[in-house]
Amino acid sequence: MAHLEKYEKPDVQKYVVRILFMAPIYAIDAFLSLTFDNAAPFLNVLRDCYEAFTLYNFIKMLYELLGGERTVIEIMSKKKQSRGLWGMRWEGRGPMKALMFYNCKFGVLQYIVIIPICAIVTFITVAVSCLPRVSRRRALWAIYCLITFYLSMQEELEASVSNALGKFLVVKAVVFLCFWQGVALNLVLIIGYIPETTQYSAKHFVGAIEQWLICMEMLIIAICFYLVYPVEEFTNKTEMQTRTYGSTGKKQEEGTSFV
């Protein structure tokens, strides 16, 4: 609400607002999944759709704060050879650096395409058993591409974006938190630590625990969002001299900040 009331930089704040909706949407989804147990698989697919939408808006926000996609490509083309995660190398300059940019962008966009397809399959065939595995793998690949982009543009992001690392980590924390706690709970289920009763099965009990944890965690995530995406960034710094990166890839002094 604070961002919408002080909507002074719509080119950036429209992405911020969409990102901030992640916490309440996750919490509402988890609450409804606890209330309507049979609807949980369908609700979770819709949640995954918004997760994909959030990742798209996050990378678009970074592009906007850095001056646009063309500026980002030009900055990348002037960088030296860089090493990605797990030893991946991006050789040379110019076209290869542009290829890195498009590969990172495609890694995020493919997740946005895959998740709605999974949603359609779920609602038509109710074949939900394989969909979580597909969506989680795609989510992890999208996260990997975002991490690669961040490491490649770390200097520029930290100079142009206030608390860039915090913004990056809080969005990624939501995805990784939901993924790894789901893996841990399923491992507990497989080992057989959860007893079954006449009132509930072990699988339903573990699913309820996961949804309850998400409800609690989203309160913490919402506080983190409030701290790393303060509205003051977009209202109180419009007259400050800040370091930004122009199309030349060199630091420049400008009268206004991207944030």
Assess if residue 15 is contained within a domain. yes
pLDDT for position 48 = 82
pTM of the model: 0.78
Count of domains in the chain?
Answer: 1
Residue 203 lies in a domain: yes
Residue 255 in any domain: the answer is no
- 114 occurs within a structural domain: yes
pLDDT per residue of the chain (259 residues) written in tens, 0 to 9: 899 999 988 999 999 999 999 999 999 999 999 998 778 877 888 888 898 899 889 999 999 988 888 888 888 877 765 555 544 444 444 455 567 788 788 888 887 788 777 777 767 765 444 455 555 666 777 888 888 888 888 888 888 888 888 998 998 888 888 878 888 888 888 888 877 777 778 888 888 898 999 999 999 999 999 999 999 888 765 433 344 444 444 444 444 443 3
Query: CA-to-CA distance for 55 and 64, rounded, in angstroms?
Result: 14
Structural domain boundaries enclosing 102: 2-248
Helices 202-228 and 22-35 cross at an angle (nearest 10°) of: 160
One-letter amino acid for residue 57 of the chain: N
| Residue 110 placed within a domain | yes
pLDDT of residue 15: 95
For residue 254, being part of any structural domain is answered with no
Of 2, 5, 1, 9, give the one whose Cα is nearest residue 234. Answer: 9
| Domain presence at residue 48 | yes
